[in-house]
């Protein structure tokens, strides 16, 4: 059965632990052309949108869920929200847990709202990443 409204509430196991490093923070800040000194101290903060990198692994779990019959190349990322409890910093060991919050099906299009909680090494939520993805199926 393909993705349907019945999949609301489905969640996936936490992604493998990802350790944020100073080198990754610097690489990511450079890719954004961002010279903020906070990303280049002895104990650097991560740019707020580096969370997306952690979220990718959780999105991949959903795309790999064969029951949903999602095809990545037919997905459009419609919107994105990040809500921060605290910034990530070098040394944090984080996991991401995705939950499908809502599915709206309209003909050959499905609109999926999903939410990813990013937990730190202490089990506390550091950030929530909420996305709306639009998936178009090939007409039968």
Partner 1 sequence: MNVSPLDSSPIEVGSELPPLTVRLTRASLVRYAGASGDFNPIHYSDHFAAKVGLPGVVAHGMLTMGTALRVVTDWVGDPAKVTSFFVRFTNPVVVPDDEDGAEVSFTARVIAVESNHVSIAIEASSGGQKALGAARAEVDLG
Residue among 2, 17, 32, 64 that touches partner 1 (CB under 8 A): 32
Q: Is 119 helix (H, G, I), strand (E, B) or coil?
A: strand
- Phi/psi-derived region of residue 100, left when phi > 0, alpha when psi is between -120 and 50, beta in every other case: beta
State yes or no: residue 81 binds partner 1 (CB under 8 A): yes
Q: Cα–Cα distance between 67 and 58 in angstroms, integer?
A: 16
Residue among 10, 11, 22, 24 that touches partner 1 (CB under 8 A): 24
State yes or no: residue 90 binds partner 1 (CB under 8 A): no
Cβ distance 38 to 118 under 8 Å?
A: no
Q: Which residues of this chain interact with partner 1, rule CB under 8 A?
A: 24, 27-28, 30-34, 36, 38-39, 45, 47-49, 52-53, 56, 72-73, 76-84, 86-87
């Amino acid at each position: 059965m393909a993705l349907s409204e019945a999949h609301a509430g489905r969640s996936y196991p936490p992604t493998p632990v990802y350790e944020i490093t100073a080198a990754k923070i610097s690489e990511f800040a450079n890719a954004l052309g961002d010279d903020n000194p906070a990303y280049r101290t002895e104990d650097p903060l991560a740019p707020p949108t580096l969370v997306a990198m952690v979220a990718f692994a959780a999105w991949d779990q959903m795309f790999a869920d064969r029951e949903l019959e999602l095809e990545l190349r037919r997905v459009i990322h419609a919107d994105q929200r990040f809500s921060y409890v605290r910034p990530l910093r070098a040394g944090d060991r984080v996991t991401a847990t995705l939950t499908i919050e809502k599915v709206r099906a309209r003909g050959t299009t499905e609109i999926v709202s999903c939410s990813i909680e990013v937990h730190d090494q202490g089990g506390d939520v550091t950030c929530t990443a909420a996305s709306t993805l639009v998936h178009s199926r090939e007409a039968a």
